[in-house]
Structures are given as C-alpha cells and as structure tokens.
C-alpha cells in the first residue's frame, strides 16, 4: 500500500513502513505454555514509539497472557521481549518501565483516590511536594480534579476506570498496557472514553498497547491492529488495511460483517480475475495481487456497505450485479440492514445509509431488488 | 404455600432455639439464685458473683486462661496468616497438597488424640532437652496454637481466594517489591479476616478443656479445668456465676467476629 511512494511525513507517522525505523517494543518468537496448553504460540511483533497498538481477538485467544508477559507477570516459555532496546524478558514487573491498567481496574479499596494515584510515586521515592503536584495534575488530566479524598466505593464505573488510568500514567511509563480498558463501561460512556483515551495518548505521547475483543473499539482507537487467533497473530496492519484488505476469511469475518462467496477462477487478465460463484448464478470479477492460477478455488469477500441495493436494474456494466428478493430488513436509524435472498437461496447482507427522511420505507419484504458493487470492492481471499 | 409451611418452620425453629439455649439460660438464671442448693430457687441475689471475686483459685485460673487465650490468638493469627498466604499465593509448590492436609487435620482430629500426642511430645522433649521443665502456661499455649492456627489459616485463605489477585499485581506493577506488597496491600485487605481469626482462636482457647487437661501440669488449671473439677464435687451456684461470665465473654467475641466479617463483606470491591 504505497510503500514506495511514502513521504517523510508518512514515515514519521507510520514508522512501521520505514524499514530503518527502530521499533520500541520487540516481541521475538515469544511462546507461553501452561502445562500442555499453548496460550501464546511463537509470536513476533514490532511496536513503534507513540503507537496506540491494539491486540484484537476473541475471548481466550491469549491476549491477556501476551500483555502479562509485557508487564512481567508471566515469563515467556521461549523467546525474548525488548523494550526501548533493553531485553526485559527476565526483568520483574516492579523494575519494568511499563505500567498496566488491569481489566478489573484493581483500585486499592483501602486507599483514597489520591493515595491510589500517589502509590507508584511513593514507591519511586518521589518527594512529597512533587507527588502532590503530579497526582493533582494527573487527576485533572483524567477529569477527576477534586476527587482525591474519595474512597473507591464512592466512585462510578467510569470514574474508577479513570483512576486506574491516572494511577498507571502518573509514573510516566514508556509503555502503558491496557487490558480491555472499556469493557466494563456502558455503550455511551465507552464511546466518550475512547476519544478521551486517544486524546490523553496524543497529549502524553506514551506508547499504548491495548487488548480488546471489541473490533469497533480497536478500529477507532488504534494506529495498528494485530488480530489474534489461538495464540498467534494472523494479521497485523492499520485499521483500514485490516478492514479493507483482510488477509483471511477469519479476519474478514471477525472485523465487521462480510459476505463470503466461494468461487473458482475461470479466467485471469493481469491482476483481474473472473471467477464462477455457483451461489451467484453468474460470474464475479475482482482484482488481486495474489499469485493465482485459473482453476484455483478462492473466496470473494464483499462488505455489506459496499453493495448498492435498488429496485431498478442498474445499467452500469462496470459493476457486478445480482438479483434477489428481500427476505428481511432492519431499521437502525442512520442505516438499514437488508438480508437479500438470491435465486440459489444464498442470503447476502446489505447495508444502506438512510439518506432521505421518509415515513414509508422504500423497500419491503419480498420486493425484487438488484444488488450491485464496484469490482474493486470485492476482495479475493485464499486463507 | 408459605403460610401453610410457616407453622411447621416456626415450631422447628422454636425447638432448635430451645434446645440450644434453655441450658444456657438456666445457667444464667440460677447464677442469680440466692440458695446454696443449685437446683432450688431461693430468691434473686448477686452474692455468687461477689464470692467469685474473693475466690483466689478462680481468679488465678481465669487469669491463666486469659493469658493463654491472648497469647494463643496472637501467635495463631500470625502463623495462620503466613500459612494462608503461602497456600493461596505461592502457586503449586512441591508438597502443597501435603501442607494443606496437614494444616486442616487439627480441625477434624479428635481432641483426645491431639492432646495425647502433644503430651507425649512434651514428655519426650523434656527427656531430651530438659524443656519444658514444668507443664503449664507454655505447654498449654503451644498446644492451643497448633489447633487454633488451623482455623485462622482456613479463614485467611478463603478471604485471599475471594480477593482480586490483580490488586497485588497492580502494586507490583507500580514498583512495589513482593514482600512489601504483603504489608501495603494484602494485610490491610485481609485484616478483617485476621481479626475474626484472632477472635475465633481466642474463643477456642478459652473454651478448651480436653487438650489443656492433657498438656497441663500440677498447679496449672485453666478456667474450664477448674469448673470441670469443681462440678465433679457437685454443681454449686458460684460455678453458675462463673459460667455466666464466660457465656457473656464468648457471646461478645462471637458478635464482634460477626460484625467484623460483615464489614469485610461490605468492603469487598464491587466488581
Ligand atoms: N495461569 C494460567 N494457567 C493455565 N491456563 C491459563 C493461565 N492463564 C491463561 N490460561 C489459558 O490461556 C488461554 C488464554 O487466556 P487469556 O490470555 O486470558 O485469553 P484472552 O485474554 O484472550 O481472553 C485461556 O484458554 C486460558 O484458560
Ligand atoms: Mg483477557
């Protein structure tokens, strides 16, 4: 994606494109076994300074274990971890230049908000006057000014989250690790807090590594995302890349919604292929960089929002199209979701922006419709 | 349905309470009996309480029992807390199962066996090292610590199991060394469990008759031992007065332990 044409500005903003850039965190062949169970399986990853990096995966795939190895609570069974050029694989947590925000927030219940945030500084031996100031500044930053004397039991979920954040940030770590930082918050608060987190990260310039199972959260927050499955990474990239150019069915399906069509390549012309998709009753076109041969089985992925739905047959032959019948639809305010049944019985999901305000719906159950999409919108997957 | 069942439940409850508390109530009532005969009501009086205070034998025994109970409770709490920490936090070290079994065995071991084996231990120690020279305060205290410690361990361990371990990890993450974490985080959070463990150990020690009888020597009688030996000569009203005081003390201990454990529930973090 524009590797060759990257400008200097791009390279400073996206250091992973720069082959000469020094990664800030290096995870090298790291595995973690619990008895016979492999929780993390030979993972390699470079994270650059100032990134807000997300590790995204289903529950139980080993995200927390990986994060705990970065924090020092678990020792890798094999492999090394470097932070800022120093091998920290065997460095205990209390000596690592890293702080963690726990999934449960782990606020000390017997201390006030002030004491909680001051704790790390006390352990560092910072002067009381400076502690006072730094804690006050940090509480201000997370919008908890004046909360210092409160006990944790007197805080709401969102406030506890911010105390945990302040407590981890006040030590000015090189890296902040966040385990499902927003999972315990309700939807509205979560959206608000996402942007707060991004602002704070931007302001302090600390490298954030966030673990989440929420793909939307990862998309919004991150500079880059690593998609994890069964202890290994299956794709690493910017949110846009991972969404628009998924490398496998799993990623395409995990990140957002997608229509996956099995197909067989019938002809090939440069980077354009034409494939027979039995479920579509006709041919599908797509562009791909993959080295494929005529006769190869592939999977064509098309996102619901890339598909136009209309009652009149579109006359644009540049686009691919197929006819179907509306099986079901849902109205979501800003958009509508349609489930369209093709002649083969296959259901295709389509989402459409509700641009016009109207009391009646344009499309109803059993309406005959045409679906069409730009050929460039179809993604060819082999894995 | 509830209405139909409630008379039954009520009578079961009444019977249960009666069964448990009529003996205690009668002891307390008769401690205020003016008559010298323990079983004949001769009017209200507090003379037996006054007589108790003038009875040196009783006072000595009471003092000994209290000294033993306080020492036992304190040591049992310290040792039990350490064991609870080891069992709950040090993962799966070698011999963990064995240690668990050994610690909890005093809870189920017949007191006669515990008492007898401790007596044999003290006797052979005396033969080998000349210690303990006499059996009394120290031997009884050691014996009490061995079984009271087991109760404290169980209480502390269950509190630790209910506690979010990431609290301790968070402290370490913020730069605290593991040993210091115990004092900064763990102990303040299990303090209620330690207090109720202390109170329980205190009550158990104060109550104990069998083990004390085995490991005490001539001239060292705890309060339960004194009562038991006096009762063999017939129940006298001053014994009732003494028993009433003990009932009061133990009830206070139980209520205090209950209050502490209720606070402990409340102070648990809500998530
Ligand atoms: N200390 C441990 N002992 C044994 N198994 C563990 C331990 N910690 C985690 N696991 C296992 O490793 C897997 C990954 O766990 P985790 O990293 O917590 O997943 P995630 O955070 O992605 O949900 C899970 O199947 C979990 O049961
Ligand atoms: Mg997790």
All structural domains of chain B, each given as residue ranges with its CATH number in brackets, are 63-267 (1.10.3720.10)
Q: How far apart are CA B67 and CA B18, in angstroms?
A: 34
Mark yes or no for CB contact B267/A124 under 8 Å.
no
pLDDT at A110 over 60: yes
Q: What is the pLDDT of residue B175?
A: 95
For a mutational test of ligand 1's pocket, the pick from A30, A35, A40, A65, i.e. the residue with the most ligand atoms closer than 8 A to its C-beta, is A65
pLDDT at A359 over 70: no
Q: Domain spanning A9-97+173-253 has what CATH number?
A: 3.40.50.300
Cα-to-centroid distance, A58 and ligand 2 (Å)? 9
Q: What is the pLDDT of residue B219?
A: 82
Partner residue facing A94 (CB), from B166, B176, B271 = B176
Q: What is the pLDDT of residue A23?
A: 92
Residues of B with CB below 8 A from A91's CB?
Answer: none
For range B232-240, the mean pLDDT: 81
Burial label, B86 (beta-carbon count in 10 A; 0-12, 13-18, 19+): middle
CA A281: distance to chain centroid? 35
Average model confidence (pLDDT) across chain A: 90
Q: What is the pLDDT of residue A54?
A: 96
Q: What is the pLDDT of residue B1?
A: 47
Mark yes or no for CB contact B173/A160 under 8 Å.
no
Q: What is the pLDDT of residue A111?
A: 95
Which ligand approaches the C-alpha of residue A34 most closely? 1
Q: Which residues sit with their C-beta closer than 6 Å to ligand 1? A: A 34, 37, 39, 57, 59-65
Mark yes or no for CB contact A94/B177 under 8 Å.
yes
Q: What is the pLDDT of residue B270?
A: 40
pLDDT at B84 over 50: yes
Q: Where in chain A are the domains?
A: 9-97+173-253, 257-381
Q: How close are the terminal C-alpha atoms of chain B, in Å?
A: 37
Q: How far apart are CA A278 and CA A346, in angstroms?
A: 10
Question: Is-contact A127 A111, C-beta < 8 A?
Answer: no
Equal fold, A9-97+173-253 vs A257-381: no
Mark yes or no for CB contact B169/A103 under 8 Å.
no
- pLDDT tens for residues A55-90? 999 999 999 999 999 999 999 999 999 999 999 999
Q: What is the pLDDT of residue A196?
A: 87
pLDDT at B271 over 50: no
Q: pTM, whole model, 2 decimals?
A: 0.83
Which ligand approaches the C-alpha of residue A32 most closely? 1
Best mean pLDDT range from A275-284, A369-378, B233-242: A369-378
Interchain contact B269–A (C-beta under 8 A): yes
| Fold for the domain defined by A257-381 | OB fold (Dihydrolipoamide Acetyltransferase, E2P) (2.40.50)
For range B230-253, the mean pLDDT: 84
For a mutational test of ligand 1's pocket, the pick from A39, A77, A178, A233, i.e. the residue with the most ligand atoms closer than 8 A to its C-beta, is A39
Q: How far apart are CA B111 and CA B209, in angstroms?
A: 9
Ranking A56-70, A80-94, A201-215, B26-40 by mean pLDDT, the lowest is B26-40
For range A189-218, the mean pLDDT: 90
HEC letters along chain B = CHHHHHHHHHHHHHHHHHHHHHHHHHHHHHHCECCCCCCCCCCECCHHHHHHHHCHHHHHHHHHHHHHHHHHHHHHHHHHHHHHHHHHHCCCCCCHHHHHHHHHHHHHCCHHHHHHHHHHHHHHHHHHHCCCCCCCHHHHHHHHHHHHHHHHHHHHHHHHHHCCCHHHHHHHHCCCCHHHHHHHHHHHHHHHHHHHHHHHHHHHHHHCCHHHHHHCCCCCCCHHHHHHHHHCCCCCHHHHHHHHHHHHHHHHHHHHHHHHHHHHHHHCCCC
Query: How far does B89 lie from chain A, in Å, by closest CA?
Result: 14
Cα-to-centroid distance, A1 and ligand 1 (Å)? 35
Residue nearest to atom 9 of ligand 1 (CA): A65
Q: How far apart are CA A278 and CA B234, in angstroms?
A: 101
């Amino acid at each position: 994606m524009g590797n060759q044409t990257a400008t200097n500005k791009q390279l400073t903003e996206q250091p992973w494109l720069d082959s000469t850039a020094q990664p800030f965190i290096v995870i090298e062949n790291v595995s973690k076994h619990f008895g016979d169970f492999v929780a993390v399986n030979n993972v390699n990853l470079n994270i650059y300074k100032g990134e807000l990096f997300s590790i995204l995966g289903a529950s139980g795939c080993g995200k927390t274990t990986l994060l705990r190895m970065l924090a020092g609570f678990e020792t890798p069974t094999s492999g090394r971890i470097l932070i800022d050029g120093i091998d920290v694989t065997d460095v205990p947590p209390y000596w690592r230049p890293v702080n963690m925000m726990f999934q449960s927030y782990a606020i000390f219940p017997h201390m006030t908000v002030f004491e909680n945030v001051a704790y790390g500084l006390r352990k560092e031996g910072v002067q009381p006057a400076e502690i006072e100031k730094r804690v006050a500044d940090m509480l201000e930053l997370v919008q908890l000014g004046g909360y210092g004397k409160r006990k944790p039991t007197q805080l709401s979920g969102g406030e506890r989250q911010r105390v945990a954040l302040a407590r981890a940030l006040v030590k000015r770590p090189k890296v902040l690790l966040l385990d499902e930082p927003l999972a315990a918050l309700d939807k509205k608060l979560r959206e608000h807090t996402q942007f707060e987190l991004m602002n704070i990260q931007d302001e302090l310039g600390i490298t954030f590594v966030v673990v989440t199972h929420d793909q939307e959260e990862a998309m919004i927050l991150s500079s880059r995302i690593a998609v994890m499955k069964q202890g290994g990474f299956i794709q690493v990239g910017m949110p846009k890349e991972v969404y628009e150019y998924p490398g496998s069915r799993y990623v395409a399906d995990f990140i957002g919604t997608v229509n996956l069509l099995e197909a067989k390549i019938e002809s090939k012309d440069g980077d354009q292929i034409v494939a027979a998709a039995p479920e579509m009753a006709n041919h599908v076109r797509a562009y791909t960089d993959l080295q494929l041969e005529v006769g190869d089985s592939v999977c064509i992925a098309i996102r619901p929002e890339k598909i136009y739905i209309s009652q009149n047959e579109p006359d644009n032959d540049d686009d691919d199209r197929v006819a179907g019948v509306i099986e079901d639809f849902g109205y979501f305010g800003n958009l509508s979701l349609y489930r369209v049944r093709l002649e083969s019985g296959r259901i295709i999901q389509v989402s459409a922006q509700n641009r016009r305000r109207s009391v009646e719906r344009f499309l109803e159950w059993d309406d005959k419709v045409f679906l069409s999409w730009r050929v460039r919108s179809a993604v060819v997957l082999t894995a | 349905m509830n209405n139909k069942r409630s008379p039954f439940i009520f009578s079961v409850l009444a019977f249960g309470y009666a069964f448990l508390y009529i003996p205690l109530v009668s002891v307390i009532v008769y401690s205020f009996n003016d008559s010298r005969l323990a079983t004949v009501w001769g009017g209200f009086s507090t003379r037996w309480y006054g007589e108790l205070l003038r009875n040196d034998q009783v006072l000595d025994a009471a003092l000994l029992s209290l000294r033993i109970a306080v020492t036992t409770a304190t040591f049992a709490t310290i040792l039990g807390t350490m064991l609870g920490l080891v069992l709950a936090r040090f993962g799966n070290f070698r011999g963990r199962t064995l240690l668990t079994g050994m610690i909890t065995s005093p809870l189920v071991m017949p007191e006669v066996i515990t008492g007898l084996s401790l007596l044999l231990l003290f006797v052979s120690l005396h033969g080998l090292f000349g210690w303990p020279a006499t059996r009394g305060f120290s031997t009884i205290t050691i014996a009490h610590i061995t079984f009271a410690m087991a109760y404290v361990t169980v209480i502390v361990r269950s509190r630790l199991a209910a506690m979010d371990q990431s609290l301790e990890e968070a402290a370490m993450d913020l730069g605290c060394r593991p040993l210091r974490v115990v004092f900064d985080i763990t102990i303040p959070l299990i303090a209620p469990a330690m207090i109720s463990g202390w109170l329980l150990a205190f009550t158990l020690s104060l109550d104990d008759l069998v083990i004390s009888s085995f490991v005490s020597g001539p001239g060292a009688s705890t309060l339960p031992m004194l009562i038991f030996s006096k009762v063999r000569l017939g129940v006298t009203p001053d014994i009732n007065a003494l028993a009433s005081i003990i009932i009061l003390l133990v009830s206070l201990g139980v209520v205090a332990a209950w209050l502490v454990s209720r606070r402990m529930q409340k102070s648990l973090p809500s998530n």
